[in-house]
């Protein structure tokens, strides 16, 4: 068994004296793990860095085996982020969320394309925080926890959206949710700002949330909100909470 693909390197850990076990998020084969012989050596160290875009060739005797990778570098993204703590933290958040949330060997081509664009934008484009926020929404949608922030679930209006319903995962306007304020969650303004700045991305997020397979459920995940509300939103909030160390994006020019 063998295949060739391109991917984003997620993690590396030493295996034996000279090899490494490498995890890569690939375009056509999803999150995949393989052994890189000589991966613990000095020659491969600059290549096997989280966030690196690589060309990979995987081979194994049987499909269920871990197999071996042959890796060629395409672009190293992490090196240019060493002096940008926020962007470097975002890169770490992206790789960590992919590692803990996506099932192994299940392709997610749309999410891969968005991940590749986001990693390339980190620290280079001024709107990368907005892109990151929408990337998290896309990840949630891919997993079946998509949020609908386009209009109010109660009244249908598209303006003055201030809350998110923990029951439906949909936005609620200030007027529409006035009677249930104590039961609703606040809607961060930076998500609406990001959606306004990138309407095409928001449209694709909404499409993914309606087309995600309902059969897949991340049962191994912890659900900190269990007992305090529907598990659907509890799991979604838990995913986002892993990135709380990042600065909060409140608009094109404001950080808090």
For 203-228, what is each residue's pLDDT tens digit?
Answer: 544 554 444 433 333 333 333 333 33
Instruction: Evaluate if residue 10 carries a pLDDT over 90.
Output: yes
Question: Each residue of 14-50: pLDDT tens digit?
Answer: 999 899 999 999 999 999 999 999 999 988 988 999 9
- Residue 197's pLDDT is 56
133: its two tokens: 């926020």
- Same domain, residue pair 9 and 70: yes
Residue 170 located in a structural domain: no
- Same domain, residue pair 90 and 58: no
- Same domain, residue pair 11 and 68: yes
Q: Are 75 and 7 in contact (CB under 8 A)?
A: no
Reported confidence tier of residue 102, pLDDT bands at 50, 70, 90: very high
Residue 142 located in a structural domain: yes
- Residue 230's pLDDT is 31
- Same domain, residue pair 38 and 127: no
CATH code: domain of residue 10: 2.40.50.140
- Same domain, residue pair 18 and 51: yes
128: its two tokens: 């990368």
CA distance linking residue 231 with residue 145, whole number of Å? 10
- Give the residue with greater pLDDT, 21 vs 150: 21
Sequence-distant (6+) residues with CB within 8 A of 61 are: 1
- Same domain, residue pair 67 and 90: no
- Same domain, residue pair 14 and 66: yes
- Residue 72's pLDDT is 94
Q: Are 206 and 133 in contact (CB under 8 A)?
A: no
CA distance linking residue 231 with residue 228, whole number of Å? 9
Residue 139 located in a structural domain: yes
Single out the residue in 39, 60, 76 at which a domain terminates. Answer: 76
Single out the residue in 21, 49, 76 at which a domain terminates. Answer: 76
Residue 57 located in a structural domain: yes
Single out the residue in 56, 76, 96 at which a domain terminates. Answer: 76
Instruction: Evaluate if residue 55 carries a pLDDT over 50.
Output: yes
- Residue 195's pLDDT is 57
CA distance linking residue 163 with residue 242, whole number of Å? 21
Instruction: Evaluate if residue 246 carries a pLDDT over 60.
Output: no
Residue 168 located in a structural domain: no
Residue 207 located in a structural domain: yes
- Residue 190's pLDDT is 74
Q: Are 1 and 62 in contact (CB under 8 A)?
A: yes
- Same domain, residue pair 23 and 142: no
Reported confidence tier of residue 152, pLDDT bands at 50, 70, 90: very high
Residue 249 located in a structural domain: no
Residue 164 located in a structural domain: no
- Give the residue with greater pLDDT, 219 vs 69: 69
- Same domain, residue pair 100 and 124: yes
Domain membership of residue 71 as a residue range: 2-76
Q: What percent of the chain has pLDDT over 70?
A: 75
- Residue 198's pLDDT is 53
Is the dihedral angle over the CA atoms 74, 65, 100, 40 positive or is it negative? negative
- Same domain, residue pair 105 and 70: no
- Same domain, residue pair 144 and 71: no
Mean pLDDT estimate for the chain:
79
- Same domain, residue pair 104 and 202: yes
Reported confidence tier of residue 199, pLDDT bands at 50, 70, 90: low
- Work out how many domains the chain is built from and give that number: 2
Reported confidence tier of residue 173, pLDDT bands at 50, 70, 90: very high
């Amino acid at each position: 068994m063998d295949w060739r693909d391109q991917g984003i390197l997620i993690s590396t850990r030493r295996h034996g004296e000279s090899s490494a076990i490498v995890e890569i998020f690939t375009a056509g084969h999803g999150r995949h793990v393989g052994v890189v012989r000589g991966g613990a050596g000095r020659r491969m160290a600059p290549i096997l860095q989280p966030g690196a875009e690589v060309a990979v060739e995987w081979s194994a005797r049987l499909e269920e085996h871990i197999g071996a990778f042959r890796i060629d570098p395409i672009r190293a993204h992490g090196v240019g982020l060493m002096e940008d703590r926020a962007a470097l933290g975002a890169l770490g958040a992206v790789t960590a969320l992919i590692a803990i949330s996506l099932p192994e060997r299940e392709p997610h081509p749309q999410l891969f394309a968005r991940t590749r664009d986001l990693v390339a934008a980190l620290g280079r484009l001024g709107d990368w925080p907005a892109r990151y926020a929408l990337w998290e929404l896309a990840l949630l949608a891919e997993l079946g926890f998509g949020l609908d922030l386009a209009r109010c679930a109660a009244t249908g209006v598209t303006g003055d959206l201030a809350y998110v319903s923990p029951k439906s995962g949909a936005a609620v306007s200030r007027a529409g949710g006035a009677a249930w304020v104590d039961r609703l969650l606040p809607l961060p303004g930076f998500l609406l700002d990001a959606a306004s700045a990138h309407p095409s991305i928001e449209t694709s997020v909404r499409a993914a949330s309606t087309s995600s397979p309902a059969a897949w459920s991340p049962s191994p995940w912890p659900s900190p909100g269990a007992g305090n509300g529907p598990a659907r939103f509890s799991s979604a909030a838990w995913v986002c909470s892993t990135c709380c160390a990042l600065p909060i994006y409140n608009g094109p020019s404001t950080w808090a």
